[in-house]
Homo-oligomer: A and B are copies of this chain.
Amino acid sequence: MSEATPDTFVTAGFLVIGDEILSGRTKDKNIGFLADYLTAIGIDLKEVRVVPDETDEIVAAVNALRAKHTYVFTSGGIGPTHDDITADSIAAAFGVTIDIDPRARAILAAHYPEGQLTDARLRMARIPDGADLIENPVSKAPGFRIGNVHVMAGVPAIMQAMMDAIAPTLKTGKKLMSRTVDADVPESRVADRIRAIQENYPETLIGSYPRTNDGRFTTQIVIRARDEAQLEMATSAVETAVREVTA
Protein backbone atom coordinates (compact mmCIF):
# COMPACT_ATOMS: atom_id res chain seq x y z
CA MET A 1 0.00 0.00 0.00
CA SER A 2 1.45 3.36 -0.97
CA GLU A 3 1.84 6.28 1.42
CA ALA A 4 -0.54 8.27 -0.73
CA THR A 5 -3.66 6.13 -0.31
CA PRO A 6 -6.49 7.98 1.40
CA ASP A 7 -6.43 5.36 4.18
CA THR A 8 -3.16 6.84 5.40
CA PHE A 9 -5.17 9.70 6.87
CA VAL A 10 -8.25 8.71 8.79
CA THR A 11 -9.86 11.63 10.58
CA ALA A 12 -12.48 11.99 13.29
CA GLY A 13 -14.75 14.56 14.88
CA PHE A 14 -16.06 14.23 18.43
CA LEU A 15 -19.36 15.67 19.64
CA VAL A 16 -19.91 15.99 23.39
CA ILE A 17 -23.60 16.46 24.17
CA GLY A 18 -24.78 17.87 27.49
CA ASP A 19 -25.81 21.00 29.37
CA GLU A 20 -23.86 19.74 32.39
CA ILE A 21 -20.52 20.18 30.62
CA LEU A 22 -21.39 23.72 29.47
CA SER A 23 -22.63 24.79 32.92
CA GLY A 24 -19.45 23.47 34.56
CA ARG A 25 -21.30 21.02 36.81
CA THR A 26 -19.57 18.07 35.18
CA LYS A 27 -15.94 18.29 34.09
CA ASP A 28 -15.49 16.45 30.81
CA LYS A 29 -13.16 13.47 30.87
CA ASN A 30 -14.10 12.03 27.49
CA ILE A 31 -12.22 14.48 25.23
CA GLY A 32 -8.81 13.61 26.68
CA PHE A 33 -9.65 9.90 26.72
CA LEU A 34 -10.79 9.83 23.08
CA ALA A 35 -7.86 11.98 21.92
CA ASP A 36 -5.39 9.50 23.47
CA TYR A 37 -7.34 6.49 22.19
CA LEU A 38 -7.60 7.65 18.58
CA THR A 39 -3.96 8.80 18.46
CA ALA A 40 -2.91 5.36 19.69
CA ILE A 41 -4.80 3.55 16.92
CA GLY A 42 -3.77 5.92 14.13
CA ILE A 43 -6.88 8.07 13.71
CA ASP A 44 -6.46 11.88 13.73
CA LEU A 45 -8.97 13.66 15.96
CA LYS A 46 -9.42 16.93 14.05
CA GLU A 47 -12.27 18.67 15.82
CA VAL A 48 -14.34 18.57 19.00
CA ARG A 49 -17.62 20.32 19.67
CA VAL A 50 -19.60 20.56 22.89
CA VAL A 51 -23.29 21.37 22.45
CA PRO A 52 -26.28 21.62 24.82
CA ASP A 53 -29.21 19.19 25.03
CA GLU A 54 -31.05 20.94 22.18
CA THR A 55 -32.16 19.06 19.08
CA ASP A 56 -31.29 21.77 16.54
CA GLU A 57 -27.78 22.17 17.92
CA ILE A 58 -27.12 18.43 17.94
CA VAL A 59 -28.47 17.97 14.39
CA ALA A 60 -26.40 20.86 12.99
CA ALA A 61 -23.19 19.69 14.68
CA VAL A 62 -23.59 16.03 13.68
CA ASN A 63 -24.29 16.96 10.08
CA ALA A 64 -21.29 19.32 9.94
CA LEU A 65 -18.92 16.76 11.45
CA ARG A 66 -20.07 13.69 9.50
CA ALA A 67 -19.61 15.51 6.20
CA LYS A 68 -16.02 16.46 7.09
CA HIS A 69 -14.52 13.42 8.78
CA THR A 70 -14.06 9.70 8.24
CA TYR A 71 -15.71 9.04 11.59
CA VAL A 72 -17.80 10.91 14.14
CA PHE A 73 -18.08 9.88 17.79
CA THR A 74 -20.65 11.30 20.20
CA SER A 75 -20.98 11.03 23.98
CA GLY A 76 -23.94 11.80 26.20
CA GLY A 77 -27.71 11.98 26.09
CA ILE A 78 -28.67 8.33 25.54
CA GLY A 79 -30.11 7.59 28.98
CA PRO A 80 -33.74 7.14 30.05
CA THR A 81 -34.65 10.69 31.08
CA HIS A 82 -36.50 13.53 29.34
CA ASP A 83 -33.25 15.41 28.65
CA ASP A 84 -31.75 12.44 26.79
CA ILE A 85 -32.52 13.47 23.22
CA THR A 86 -29.44 12.27 21.37
CA ALA A 87 -30.97 9.23 19.63
CA ASP A 88 -33.94 11.23 18.33
CA SER A 89 -31.63 14.04 17.22
CA ILE A 90 -29.34 11.64 15.34
CA ALA A 91 -32.37 10.13 13.57
CA ALA A 92 -33.42 13.67 12.59
CA ALA A 93 -29.90 14.43 11.33
CA PHE A 94 -29.99 11.34 9.09
CA GLY A 95 -33.66 11.84 8.11
CA VAL A 96 -34.68 8.38 9.29
CA THR A 97 -37.42 7.17 11.63
CA ILE A 98 -36.78 6.05 15.20
CA ASP A 99 -38.64 3.55 17.34
CA ILE A 100 -38.12 0.86 19.97
CA ASP A 101 -35.57 -1.54 18.44
CA PRO A 102 -36.37 -5.24 19.05
CA ARG A 103 -32.67 -6.14 19.52
CA ALA A 104 -32.19 -3.36 22.10
CA ARG A 105 -35.46 -4.25 23.82
CA ALA A 106 -34.32 -7.88 24.13
CA ILE A 107 -31.04 -6.78 25.75
CA LEU A 108 -32.87 -4.63 28.30
CA ALA A 109 -35.56 -7.28 28.94
CA ALA A 110 -32.82 -9.80 29.75
CA HIS A 111 -31.12 -7.31 32.09
CA TYR A 112 -33.99 -6.00 34.23
CA PRO A 113 -36.01 -8.22 36.58
CA GLU A 114 -39.44 -9.31 35.35
CA GLY A 115 -41.88 -6.36 35.21
CA GLN A 116 -39.20 -3.67 35.68
CA LEU A 117 -38.71 -2.71 32.04
CA THR A 118 -40.60 0.56 32.51
CA ASP A 119 -41.47 3.06 29.80
CA ALA A 120 -38.55 5.23 30.89
CA ARG A 121 -36.11 2.32 30.54
CA LEU A 122 -37.63 1.35 27.19
CA ARG A 123 -36.65 4.82 25.94
CA MET A 124 -33.08 3.49 25.97
CA ALA A 125 -34.13 0.99 23.27
CA ARG A 126 -35.09 3.78 20.85
CA ILE A 127 -32.64 3.36 17.97
CA PRO A 128 -32.71 5.11 14.56
CA ASP A 129 -33.80 2.93 11.64
CA GLY A 130 -30.84 1.22 9.96
CA ALA A 131 -28.42 1.58 12.88
CA ASP A 132 -26.20 -1.18 14.32
CA LEU A 133 -26.02 -1.58 18.08
CA ILE A 134 -22.85 -0.92 20.09
CA GLU A 135 -22.47 -3.24 23.07
CA ASN A 136 -22.51 -1.77 26.57
CA PRO A 137 -20.91 -4.32 28.92
CA VAL A 138 -21.26 -1.97 31.92
CA SER A 139 -24.97 -1.16 32.15
CA LYS A 140 -26.38 -2.95 29.06
CA ALA A 141 -28.34 -0.09 27.37
CA PRO A 142 -26.59 -0.07 23.97
CA GLY A 143 -25.10 2.71 21.90
CA PHE A 144 -25.43 2.59 18.12
CA ARG A 145 -23.68 3.28 14.84
CA ILE A 146 -25.43 4.83 11.87
CA GLY A 147 -23.44 5.76 8.76
CA ASN A 148 -20.07 7.01 10.03
CA VAL A 149 -21.50 8.22 13.37
CA HIS A 150 -20.91 6.26 16.60
CA VAL A 151 -23.25 7.21 19.44
CA MET A 152 -21.99 6.45 22.95
CA ALA A 153 -22.90 7.09 26.58
CA GLY A 154 -21.53 10.09 28.46
CA VAL A 155 -20.52 8.26 31.64
CA PRO A 156 -16.76 7.78 31.10
CA ALA A 157 -16.62 4.12 32.20
CA ILE A 158 -19.39 3.22 29.76
CA MET A 159 -18.02 5.32 26.90
CA GLN A 160 -14.61 3.71 27.32
CA ALA A 161 -16.08 0.21 27.20
CA MET A 162 -18.05 1.17 24.08
CA MET A 163 -14.86 2.44 22.36
CA ASP A 164 -13.29 -0.95 23.00
CA ALA A 165 -16.30 -2.54 21.31
CA ILE A 166 -16.07 -0.15 18.35
CA ALA A 167 -12.30 -0.09 17.79
CA PRO A 168 -11.97 -3.41 15.88
CA THR A 169 -14.50 -2.14 13.29
CA LEU A 170 -12.60 1.06 12.47
CA LYS A 171 -10.14 1.48 9.64
CA THR A 172 -7.03 3.15 10.95
CA GLY A 173 -4.32 5.21 9.33
CA LYS A 174 -0.60 5.05 9.63
CA LYS A 175 0.24 5.96 13.19
CA LEU A 176 1.60 9.35 13.96
CA MET A 177 4.67 8.72 16.12
CA SER A 178 5.99 11.35 18.49
CA ARG A 179 9.12 12.32 20.40
CA THR A 180 9.27 14.87 23.17
CA VAL A 181 12.23 17.13 23.94
CA ASP A 182 12.23 19.09 27.21
CA ALA A 183 13.87 22.51 27.11
CA ASP A 184 14.59 24.29 30.38
CA VAL A 185 13.99 27.75 28.85
CA PRO A 186 10.90 29.83 27.96
CA GLU A 187 9.68 28.96 24.46
CA SER A 188 10.62 32.39 23.11
CA ARG A 189 14.30 31.41 23.58
CA VAL A 190 14.03 28.48 21.13
CA ALA A 191 11.28 29.72 18.84
CA ASP A 192 13.48 30.90 15.95
CA ARG A 193 15.49 27.66 15.83
CA ILE A 194 12.38 25.48 16.02
CA ARG A 195 10.72 27.42 13.22
CA ALA A 196 13.75 26.77 11.00
CA ILE A 197 13.69 23.06 11.82
CA GLN A 198 9.97 22.87 10.98
CA GLU A 199 10.75 24.45 7.60
CA ASN A 200 13.57 21.94 6.98
CA TYR A 201 11.36 18.95 7.85
CA PRO A 202 7.97 19.75 6.32
CA GLU A 203 6.75 16.14 6.72
CA THR A 204 6.95 16.46 10.48
CA LEU A 205 4.64 18.41 12.80
CA ILE A 206 6.56 20.28 15.48
CA GLY A 207 4.64 21.73 18.40
CA SER A 208 5.99 23.92 21.17
CA TYR A 209 4.18 23.90 24.51
CA PRO A 210 4.96 26.39 27.26
CA ARG A 211 4.85 25.18 30.84
CA THR A 212 4.99 26.90 34.19
CA ASN A 213 6.67 25.03 37.03
CA ASP A 214 6.76 26.97 40.31
CA GLY A 215 6.73 30.22 38.39
CA ARG A 216 9.55 29.19 36.02
CA PHE A 217 8.77 28.95 32.32
CA THR A 218 9.95 25.86 30.48
CA THR A 219 9.04 24.33 27.13
CA GLN A 220 8.16 20.94 25.77
CA ILE A 221 8.82 20.48 22.10
CA VAL A 222 6.92 17.63 20.48
CA ILE A 223 7.95 16.27 17.08
CA ARG A 224 5.39 14.11 15.27
CA ALA A 225 5.73 12.22 11.99
CA ARG A 226 4.43 9.14 10.23
CA ASP A 227 7.90 8.34 8.87
CA GLU A 228 10.41 7.12 11.45
CA ALA A 229 13.54 8.42 9.68
CA GLN A 230 12.04 11.91 9.36
CA LEU A 231 11.02 11.77 13.01
CA GLU A 232 14.52 10.86 14.19
CA MET A 233 16.27 13.49 12.04
CA ALA A 234 13.96 16.29 13.15
CA THR A 235 14.24 15.19 16.79
CA SER A 236 18.06 15.28 16.60
CA ALA A 237 17.88 18.77 15.14
CA VAL A 238 15.61 19.91 17.99
CA GLU A 239 17.91 18.37 20.61
CA THR A 240 20.88 20.20 19.11
CA ALA A 241 18.96 23.48 19.09
CA VAL A 242 17.97 23.05 22.75
CA ARG A 243 21.59 22.30 23.72
CA GLU A 244 22.69 25.46 21.92
CA VAL A 245 20.30 27.77 23.79
CA THR A 246 20.87 26.18 27.18
CA ALA A 247 24.67 25.96 26.84
Q: Is A121 among interface residues, defined by CB-CB distance under 8 A?
A: yes
Q: Is the interface of A mostly helix, strand, loop or mixed?
A: mixed
**Hey, which chain B residues are within 8 Å of A16, CB to CB?**
48
Are A48 and B22 in contact (CB-based, < 8 A)?
yes
Complex Cα–Cα for A118 and B194 (A):
14
**How many of these chains are in the complex?**
2
Q: Write the A182-193 contact mask toward B (1 if CB under 8 angstroms, else 0).
A: 000001111110
Contact yes or no, B50 A21, CB < 8 A: no
Given contacts A20-B222, A188-B120, A188-B121, contact A198 B82 (CB under 8 A): yes
| A243 interface residue per 8 A CB criterion | no
Shortest distance from the beta carbon of A212 to any chain B beta carbon, whole Å: 6
For chain A, which range describes its interface: under 10, 10 to 19, 20 to 34, or 35 or more residues? Answer: 35 or more
List which A1-32 residues lie within 8 A (CB) of chain B. Answer: 16, 19-28, 31-32
Q: Is the CB of B81 within 8 A of A26?
A: no
Residue from A57, A81, A210 having most chain B Cβ neighbours under 10 A = A81
Q: Is the CB of A45 within 8 A of B31?
A: no
- How close is A90's CB to chain B, nearest CB, in angstroms? 18
* Complex interface: chain B residues within 8 A of A192 (CB): 118-120
Given contacts A47-B57, A82-B198, contact A39 B23 (CB under 8 A): yes
Contact status A27-B32, CB under 8 Å: yes
Separation of A57 and B47 alpha carbons in the complex (Å)? 9
For A23, list chain B residues within 8 Å (CB): 35, 39, 45, 176, 178, 224
- Given contact pairs A22-B44, A121-B191, A157-B212, a sample of 17 additional A-B residue pairs in the complex whose CB atoms are under 8 Å apart: A19-B207, A21-B35, A23-B35, A25-B178, A25-B209, A28-B28, A31-B50, A47-B49, A79-B188, A80-B191, A81-B195, A81-B208, A82-B194, A83-B198, A83-B208, A120-B191, A120-B195
